[in-house]
Amino acid sequence: MTQQTEPARRKPLNRDRVLRAAVALADRAGIEALSMRSLAHELDVVPMALYKHVANKEQLLDGMVDVIVGEIDPPAGDADWKSAIRRRILSARRALLRHPWASRVIESRTSPTPGVLDYLNSIIGMFRAGGLSADLTHHAMHALGSRVWGFTQELFPASPGPAPADADPQALAALLGEMATRYPHIIEIVLARPHDGESVVGQGCDDQFEFEFALDLLLDGFERLHRQGWTSAERF
């Protein structure tokens, strides 16, 4: 406890400060700008100093995931399991959206951290508390996949066109015309957005709507199977 004999050059580094700085750096400069060297520079230490607190870069990324998972709200006291799980997953989604790099880092992890296991254990417990069998819950978790984290792989990351920032409206219209002849079905459904039908190009989809659409479709499906007393012994 009386350890202030050390000359206080810098704030003493610890694992938590390293992880928080890494999250902040990734938030600000992007995950591709996060390197052991750039993080060390950020913390005003020599790169090797980081290796006192994380074994290697993989463990640094693991720790960053746990920081984000810690931001997910605990379960609220909903009456039914479906809305409780729905609410929790949407909370995870908000946490993920605050850190645009997080979904890609979660995808890249090869073994789960304690924080990840705690979250998954808790979600599974919510299904079981709702009365779903361990069997059905097992398959439900697989079906949700990365959706338990509040994200899914987007097919069209930003825009369907090859040159999204191209400012020339005439070239853009020509491009759309080419696309329409070669990929008529894609163009049709991209434009099939009744709510904001004014713009020529669909300027991206309502990601939140799409996420909830698929989530509700799955949750409703689980509920239906549960009511039917489904087991994996028989295919439905």
Q: Which residues bind its own copies (CB under 8 A)?
A: 107, 109-112, 117-118, 120-122, 124-125, 128, 133-135, 137-139, 141-143, 145-146, 148, 152-158, 160, 162, 182-186, 188-195, 205, 209-210, 213-214, 216-218, 220-222, 225, 231-233, 236
Contact between 105 and DNA by CB under 7 A: the answer reads no
Q: Check: CB of residue 95 under 8 Å from CB of residue 71.
A: yes
Contact between 14 and DNA by CB under 7 A: the answer reads no
At closest approach, how far in Å is the CB of 82 from DNA? 42
80 binds, among its own copies, DNA, none (CB under 5 to 8 A by kind): none
Instruction: Give CA 100 to chain center in angstroms.
Output: 8
At closest approach, how far in Å is the CB of 17 from DNA? 15
At closest approach, how far in Å is the CB of 45 from its own copies? 29
Torsion angle defined by CA atoms of residues 32, 22, 115 and 113, in that order, rounded to the nearest 10 degrees: 60
What are the CA-CA distances from residue 137 to residues 134, 197, 226 (Å)?
5, 40, 9
Contact between 47 and DNA by CB under 7 A: the answer reads yes
d(CA 57, CA 40): 12
38 binds, among DNA, its own copies, none (CB under 5 to 8 A by kind): DNA
- Of the candidate residues 21, 27, 42, 51, the single one contacting DNA (CB under 7 A): 51
46 binds, among its own copies, DNA, none (CB under 5 to 8 A by kind): DNA
Piece of the chain touching DNA by CB under 7 A; list 14-22, 29-37, 81-89, 195-203:
29-37
Name residue, tokens 């079905």. Answer: 185
How crowded is residue 120: how many other Cβ atoms within 10 Å of its Cβ? 15
Which DSSP state fits 80? Answer: S
Q: What angle do CA 143, 146, 148 make, to 5 degrees?
A: 80
192 binds, among its own copies, DNA, none (CB under 5 to 8 A by kind): its own copies
Read off φ and ψ for residue 96, nearest 5 degrees: -65, -40
d(CA 191, CA 201): 7
d(CA 28, CA 100): 10
Contact between 57 and DNA by CB under 7 A: the answer reads yes
At closest approach, how far in Å is the CB of 112 from DNA? 19
Contact between 58 and DNA by CB under 7 A: the answer reads yes
57 binds, among its own copies, DNA, none (CB under 5 to 8 A by kind): DNA
